[in-house]
Amino acid sequence: MKTRTYSPNAIIAVLAVSGAVVSIMQTVFIPLLSEIPALLNCTAEQASWLITATLISSSVAIPSVAKLADMYGKRRMMILSLAVLIVGSLIGAFGTTFPQMLVARILQGFAMALIPIGMSIMRDQIPPQKLPGAIALMSGTMGIGAGIGLPLGGFIFQTLGWHAIFGVSAITGVLSLIAILIVVPESPIRSGGKFDYIGAGLISLWLTALLLAITKGEHWGWTNPSILGLFAASAALFAIWIPLELRVSQPVIDLRTTMHKPVLLTNMATFVVGIAMYANILSSTQMLEMPTSTGYGFGLTVFQSGLVLLPSAAAMVAMAPVAARIVTQFGPKRALLTGCFILAAGYAFRYLYISAVWEIAIGAIIVSGGTMIAFSAAPNIIMRVVPISETSAANGLNNVMRTMGTSVSSAAVAAILTGVTLEVAGGAVLPQLEAFKLVYIGAAIAALLAAFVGWFLPRNLDDANVAVSAGVGALAHQDEELMHERPHEFVLHGSVTNIDGIGINNAQLVFSTPEGEQIDWERTDAKGNYSVTLPEPGQYRIVVHAQGWQDLEELAVIDEHHPPRQVIMTAGVRV
């Protein structure tokens, strides 16, 4: 039987478009918010839940769905994500009540898990020379989709009505699903095992409480007992969740990997870049829509302001190959720093030049370019330092940090714009121009803070000889344009025990070529089990380190069907 071939370019295109489709859900409904109370016979506060629900459901879904992708199949979870999006969109397209719309928006948010899974499946299917650009584009789809969503939502609402927004979402979801079924192969890399249902439930609860408190704090009041209670509940659930995740065999989030310095710093920087990025979208649309009676506003409609900002979304697409070149030539750490400095420069431009529509458009383009470079660097760092079998989960957590940053940004921008105000003709209270300048100053500081955090990333991340785990399985002899599924790449499951067969927890295993080039690494779970991904059968150097035990190093010939499943620490003798 002829082996089926897959085009890397087609895979990249389908995954990137699918990422943009689900990302549009972040902002496509914003133009309707002022109309929703009349359309659905609800209050303005209730209407705001249609945005909040999508944000929370996406953050809650990402960790669990990404972990399931690592365990049971990435393509399978992408299909599930799009199927949920389609169901939610159909409910919205035919629904007429507020509860139906709320359910629809919750289900639409679920699909955001597709983005980190898409980056992970690129690792498994895209040749190394194309991978940085593919990752950059996929990572940037969150910003690209958010930028497209505003004018698209306004246009559809004005021309076809609000139900059509859900209808278009359903159609694009179906098309994306069909394209994935045809173009994207299933990844052969699956860790398997038992899903951590309790851990998934706890992370969902504490994330929900935290994000609800952040997003509703400005509306309900930061000292409101409900807000304080949500923060307290989130902290309590988080405190319960941590020790549980450290004990279970296959946690939803591997905290030991998460606390690995490069991963921790990258997630911190991503969180702060998320704050800076979202301030651009929020402040730009509001300034453009401010009435001319403020002395600085332009009086544009939501649709018009979205069109002004559309080039900034296009700039992110155009910057993808540039970002990839920076990552490839100079390393992901330098790319992260470069993106942050461009972000800061963009906000400096925005602070100085805000008297014309074209100036706002140019400032937004600069900020978007910096965002793309910074966000393209983050997943490239993540996939250099985490075990191959955890790339979806690790990228998922990075996306959650990005989403949390946008939530904080939304709350901070709202607080500034409602705190520094003026009264215009007719008695309306609107933000002063100084309020927008404060937003730009704060966003620039956030970008510089992200650069400060990124500065402490290990220097060797940018070394040319540091292998990207994402490219390990993509063998050098594969054709650049058409590549076959890699039948030899496989997941090795094993255990580290003492001489009595008792598993050793938190032992670190590093698998390298005989010459010492690292391929993959992993830590054992509470029972001493591990999983690593190897490109093909052959000889490998295994180094095992466990606190309190003598290090073990050996050369082993590993075959997919007869692997050395058990590593016994040196004579079972503790040091």
Per-residue pLDDT tens over the stretch 458-488: 887 766 444 444 333 333 333 444 344 444 6
Which range scores top for mean pLDDT: 34-48, 160-174, 210-224, 249-263?
Answer: 160-174
Write down the pLDDT at residue 333: 92
Alpha-carbon span 567 to 569, nearest angstrom: 6
Q: 62-106: per-residue pLDDT in tens?
A: 999 988 998 888 999 999 999 999 999 999 999 889 999 999 999
Residue 180 shares a structural domain with residue 278:
yes
Work out the average pLDDT over 133-141: 85
Residue 447 shares a structural domain with residue 517:
no
Residue 446 shares a structural domain with residue 497:
no
In a domain, 212, yes or no: no
Residue 12 shares a structural domain with residue 109:
yes
Ramachandran angles phi, psi of 558, nearest 5°: -115, 125
In a domain, 419, yes or no: yes
Residue 522 shares a structural domain with residue 392:
no
Residue 447 shares a structural domain with residue 522:
no
Tell me: pLDDT of 286 over 80: yes
Q: How many CA atoms lie within 13 A of 130 on its CB side?
A: 25
With cut-offs at 50, 70 and 90, classify the pLDDT of residue 120. Answer: confident
With cut-offs at 50, 70 and 90, classify the pLDDT of residue 135. Answer: confident
CA angle 393, 448, 439 (to 5 degrees): 100
Work out the average pLDDT over 408-425: 84
Residue 546 shares a structural domain with residue 503:
yes
In a domain, 239, yes or no: no
Task: Work out the burial of residue 237: count CB atoms within 10 Å of its CB; fewer than 13 is exposed, 13-18 middle, 19 or more buried.
Answer: buried
Residue 433 shares a structural domain with residue 309:
yes
Residue 387 shares a structural domain with residue 529:
no
With cut-offs at 50, 70 and 90, classify the pLDDT of residue 124. Answer: confident
Q: 385-400: per-residue pLDDT in tens?
A: 888 878 888 888 888 8
Contact yes or no for 246/525 (Cβ under 8 A): no
Output 15 or 52, whichever has higher pLDDT.
15
Question: Has this prediction a pTM greater than 0.75?
Answer: yes
Lowest mean pLDDT among 108-117, 136-145, 244-253, 487-496: 487-496
Work out the average pLDDT over 311-331: 87
Average pLDDT, the chain: 85
The two structure tokens encoding residue 354: 């805000």
Residue 127, domain CATH: 1.20.1250.20
Concatenating the DSSP letter of every residue in 266-326 gives HHHHHHHHHHHHHHHHHHHHHHHHS-GGGSS-----HHHHHHHHHHHHHHHHHHHHHHHHH
Domain containing 80 equals 5-195+250-462
Tokens 């998320």: give the residue: 274
Number of domain units in the chain: 2
